[in-house]
A = this chain, B = another copy of it.
Amino acid sequence: MSRWDRAALEALDKADPLAAFREQFQFPDGLIYLDGNSLGALPRRTLARVEQTVTQEWGEGLITSWLGAEWITAPRRLGDKIAEPGELIVADSTSVNLFKAITAALSLRPERSVILSETGNFPTDLYMMQGIAAFSGGRIRAEAVHEDAVLDRLGDDVAVLLLTQVHYKTGAVRDMAEVTRRAHQAGVLVVWDLSHSAGAIPVGLNAADADFAVGCGYKFLNGGPGAPAYLFAARRHQAQAMPVLSGWMGHAAPFAFEDCYRAAEGIERFLCGTPPILGMAALECGVDLLAEADMAAIRAKSLQLGRVFMDLMDEHVADHGFTLVSPREDPRRGSHVSYAHPQGYGIMQALKERGVIGDFRDPDVLRFGLTPLYLRHVDMLDAVLAIRAVCETRAWDDPRWAVRAAVT
């Protein structure tokens, strides 16, 4: 008899303090959505808010809505809901914010030359480092070392360390406080990418003495496709860190239309262009909804979903060639669980046809995002049963999936 039979899982769902949140989201009938770590689901409240933004604020208020509907303060208002007030703004994409955060950190360590990261970090993190190095004309070097070698590489030539708190592929959690402490000992500033952690695990930027951070609005914040991203800069750095992307919205007096850039005093100096208001409106709904949930409960349920999922995989598909990629130990695991399988791509396509959506990452990794706000414990069982059915029927072996789609 399985520990996680349907009755046991239904009992967990009944006792789940977050269970009511599921009703706050729209879902296609019968779908098991294990990809909230790539694109979060749609909060039901979002449509009305976006409609209001379009028809009332834009259509009726027109230009006056920059003040009248508080568009102009949206980057800071949303930021104050995500982190400590005055330390985070919502703006641009994660990639652009990576550029801002890395160059801001470089401006605080002018005598140092290396941007350090780990191989296998999310590609855009590495690419943005490389772009900065290429543009610097040899002044700055981008260096990525094996994840196990990062701390040993911290030396007095390193200006900035760029790491992701929860790894996009493996779901492994970095100890933000300990890594930051080690980096600071070496005089190195740290930029944390929170894309797979904010909204999924307690982050604790100031408890970890974090310097800079960036992250994504469309995963666990449920802000919608291509939602605006965010940038955190610790208050102690704000006055000295110089924005390279010195756009008018980061100016001390944007509407004075001066010829010379003067950075705004606080976190607003990391704004650049005009804020994307439709995206902001949708993101605010996701952020508000998340704020109604208890983060400790989110973390507890996320870990439990992970344990249940891994137990069920052990029980039902042990003989089918899956290798666990994610850490099994709770403290080291984020909110998604990944497995490697030689037929990973085909398996994921076959699962999608059966109404189980996860995603695939080259070369062979299946990712299953376990989002506590809208998943039930019984979904873990139904997902694993679908995986077993795919394996037992070799449904991955389908000519339609012989050529991989460019977007996975």
In the complex the two chains form, is B245's CB within 8 Å of A131's CB? yes
Residues of B within 8 A of A253 (CB): 406
**Nearest CB of B to A285, in Å:** 10
In the complex the two chains form, is A257's CB within 8 Å of B361's CB? yes
Q: Does A50 contact B (CB under 8 A)?
A: yes
- Which B-chain residue is minimally distant from A60 (CB atoms)? B28
- Which B-chain residue is minimally distant from A227 (CB atoms)? B276
Q: Does A225 contact B (CB under 8 A)?
A: yes
Q: Does A126 contact B (CB under 8 A)?
A: yes
Q: How far is the CA of A243 from the CA of B127 in the complex (A)?
A: 11
- Category for how many chain A residues contact B: 35 or more
Residues of B within 8 A of A274 (CB): 93-95, 216, 218, 225-226
Residues of B within 8 A of A131 (CB): 243-246, 261
Residues of chain A in range 187-202 having any CB-CB distance to chain B below 8 Å: none
In the complex the two chains form, is A96's CB within 8 Å of B132's CB? no
Residues of B within 8 A of A206 (CB): none
In the complex the two chains form, is A96's CB within 8 Å of B247's CB? yes
In the complex the two chains form, is A277's CB within 8 Å of B224's CB? yes
Q: Which of B38, B96, B282 contacts A278 (CB 8 A)?
A: B282
Q: Which of B139, B248, B260, B359 contacts A137 (CB 8 A)?
A: B139
- Which B-chain residue is minimally distant from A144 (CB atoms)? B259
Q: Does A239 contact B (CB under 8 A)?
A: no
Residues of B within 8 A of A57 (CB): 225
In the complex the two chains form, is B137's CB within 8 Å of A93's CB? no
**Nearest CB of B to A84, in Å:** 24
Residues of chain A in range 43-74 having any CB-CB distance to chain B below 8 Å: 46-47, 50-51, 54-55, 57-60, 62-67, 71-72
Q: Does A232 contact B (CB under 8 A)?
A: no
In the complex the two chains form, is B255's CB within 8 Å of A406's CB? yes
**Nearest CB of B to A357, in Å:** 6
Q: How far is the CA of A134 from the CA of B103 in the complex (A)?
A: 11
In the complex the two chains form, is B277's CB within 8 Å of A58's CB? no
Q: How far is the CA of A124 from the CA of B274 in the complex (A)?
A: 10
In the complex the two chains form, is A137's CB within 8 Å of B135's CB? no
In the complex the two chains form, is B357's CB within 8 Å of A226's CB? no
**Nearest CB of B to A148, in Å:** 16
Residues of B within 8 A of A122 (CB): 248
Residues of B within 8 A of A377 (CB): none
Residues of B within 8 A of A399 (CB): none
Residues of B within 8 A of A42 (CB): 54-55, 58-59
Residues of B within 8 A of A96 (CB): 92, 96, 245, 247, 272-273
Query: With A27-B59, A58-B224, A226-B278 given, can you name 8 additional A-B contacts, CB distance below 8 Å?
Result: A28-B59, A38-B63, A50-B278, A95-B245, A123-B258, A131-B246, A256-B362, A279-B279
Contact surface of A with B, Cβ cutoff 8 Å: 26-28, 31, 33, 35, 38-39, 41-42, 46-47, 50-51, 54-55, 57-60, 62-67, 71-72, 92-96, 99, 103, 119-120, 122-124, 126-128, 130-132, 134-137, 139, 144, 169, 216, 218, 224-229, 242-249, 251, 253-261, 272-280, 282, 352, 357, 359, 361-362, 405-408
Name 27 interchain pairs, CB-CB below 8 A, sorted by A: A27-B59, A47-B51, A47-B54, A57-B225, A58-B225, A63-B357, A66-B225, A66-B407, A67-B405, A72-B407, A92-B273, A95-B249, A96-B96, A96-B247, A126-B260, A128-B245, A131-B244, A131-B246, A132-B244, A137-B139, A169-B257, A225-B278, A226-B275, A226-B276, A276-B276, A276-B278, A276-B279
